[in-house]
Each structure stands twice: as C-alpha cells, then as structure tokens.
Amino acid sequence: MGDTPTPVRFYVHDDLTDDVRESHGAASHAFALARELMALVRRDTPRVTVLTLGEQLEALLAKGAHAPFAVAVGIGRAGERVARQLHARTGWFPVIRRVDLTREEDQRGGYAVVSPTGVPLAQQLRGVEAAASLAIVDDTIFSGITMRQVLETLPAATRARTHAFCLRCVEESLTALCALCPVTPGFAAPGRLLDEVSFINASGLVRRGSIRRTGLTPLAFFERPEWMEAWFPDRSEQVIDVCQRLNALLEPTGEPSLPATAS
C-alpha cells in the first residue's frame, strides 16, 4: 500500500449505475458488472458509504434558497453538470459558463491545477467580474485547491458577491475557502484528509481520466493497485477484476470516454 492510508470513512459517489444503464441497457452485461462492482464497494459497511445524487441535491437544497445568480461558473464538466441539475430544481442559475480546470499529478509527488485546453483560467473567467452576483459550482471539494484557484483568480470585489456550491466535501477543506466566500455543500464529511476521510466517484474506478498525469496518459483508479488495496483491503483483487472487465466494455479502444450523463 506504500503511503496510501486506508481511510476510516470512505465515501463513494455512485455516478456509475445509472450511467451504464442508460448507455448499455438494463439487460446488458455491462450493467450486471456495474451492479456487481457497487455490491463489492458496499460490502465494507459502515466504513464505506455510497452516496447518491438525489440525496446530495436534497441536502444542499435544504440549506436554504437563493435568488437567481447573474452568472454561474461550473468547474469542468462535472461542475457544469451540477449547476444544471441544481438549476432544474431551483432556477438559481439561468446563465451557466464552464471553466475547464483539472488537477494533474506533476511527477514530483504533488499536484498542479491546470487547464486541459491550454486556455489560461483568467482568460476563461473574463467578463464574470461584471456580474452582479456570481456562483461557483463544483461536484466535489476534497483538498479545495481547484476551487481555491478559481476564487483567488477573481478580483476581491467580485468575490464579495460570490457564493460557492458543491455536492460533497471534506469539512476541514472549507475553512480556507470560507475565508474567500460563502460555501454551501450538500454533504460535508468530518475528519482529516486521506487517513480519516476520502471521496471518490464510482465512475473513476473504471473510466480513465480520474488520474491525470503531466505528459502521460490518464488512468482509472483500478490501474493504481496500491490505492485499491488501501480502499478495499479485503477484496481489492475482486474489485480490480470487475473494474477491468467493465472497462473493457465501456472503453473498448483503451481511450478515455465520457459518461453518457456528462452532457
């Protein structure tokens, strides 16, 4: 396992089951494998908790209503998707823009926040400083470095009328962000990063792109056995086997693919 700890509480957002059902059908072998994988993931209850989209949306909405924002910025495809899902229920975000930003391993044991398109973040954000009110939306706040980079790129006067949202987060990562602007999460997990609490998306177990590496091809989580052993210490080989078989159906060319629900 190396330096990868087994988290005391491990949260898995199930963005896989419905996606595979929609893309391959409820009677497909791919859907059967997706269900088998999620059953394996759930087997270590209560250490492992599977989160659903619906319960996270409901938890966020229960924290209070907002007047519509002049502009909402979604961080990456995931943040844009969450903004659209929230707007469909609330009408908060009539104007949604996406900034392309991702965390990438820098080959020195750390991470860099980069634009996968090569367009600088400040250029992608151009014009939002004039918005009367601004929302920044992401799916997950883990370490907080991506959200922090977006907020720190904005002028201080713009941050003063900005509110951030996410579906799920690690509670301790909110402290530094809340010094920049208010942040409303759906679900906030208490505990220290990695050793006490960790988050993943279930799709990341089988779809390449969850692990991005500077100058190298992206990986799925199953391609990092030391991580799988830490997350699923009593069944990592089983989980990896199911992930490999499902990946062969979802990404038969070996190239990363977008979930069917990503639009």
19, 177, 248, 259 from 203: Cα distances, Å: 9, 27, 14, 8
pLDDT class for 260, splitting at 50, 70, 90? Answer: low
What order do you get walking across the sheet with 9-13 strand by strand?
A: 48-51, 9-13, 197-201
32-61: burial string, b at 16+ Cβ within 10 Å, e else: ebbbbbbebbeebeeebbebebeebbebbe
* Residue 166 to residue 186: CA distance in whole angstroms: 6
Q: What is the pTM of this model?
A: 0.93
pLDDT class for 262, splitting at 50, 70, 90? Answer: very low
> What is the average per-residue pLDDT within 23-30?
98
* Residue 260 to residue 46: CA distance in whole angstroms: 30
- DSSP lists the bridge partners of residue 138 as 166
The percentage of the chain sitting over the pLDDT mark of 90, rounded to a whole number, equals: 90
pLDDT for 3: 79
20, 257, 263 from 260: Cα distances, Å: 8, 9, 7
pLDDT for 93: 98
**What contacts 2, CB < 8 A, 6 or more positions away?**
226
Confirm if 125 and 102 have CB atoms less than 8 A apart: no
- Tens digit of pLDDT for each residue in 56-113? 999 999 999 999 999 999 999 999 999 999 999 999 999 999 999 999 998 777 889 9
Domains (ranges, CATH) in the chain?
9-51+202-212+224-252 (no CATH), 54-189 (3.40.50.2020)
pLDDT for 15: 97
- Tens digit of pLDDT for each residue in 231-252? 999 999 999 999 999 999 999 9
pLDDT class for 254, splitting at 50, 70, 90? Answer: confident
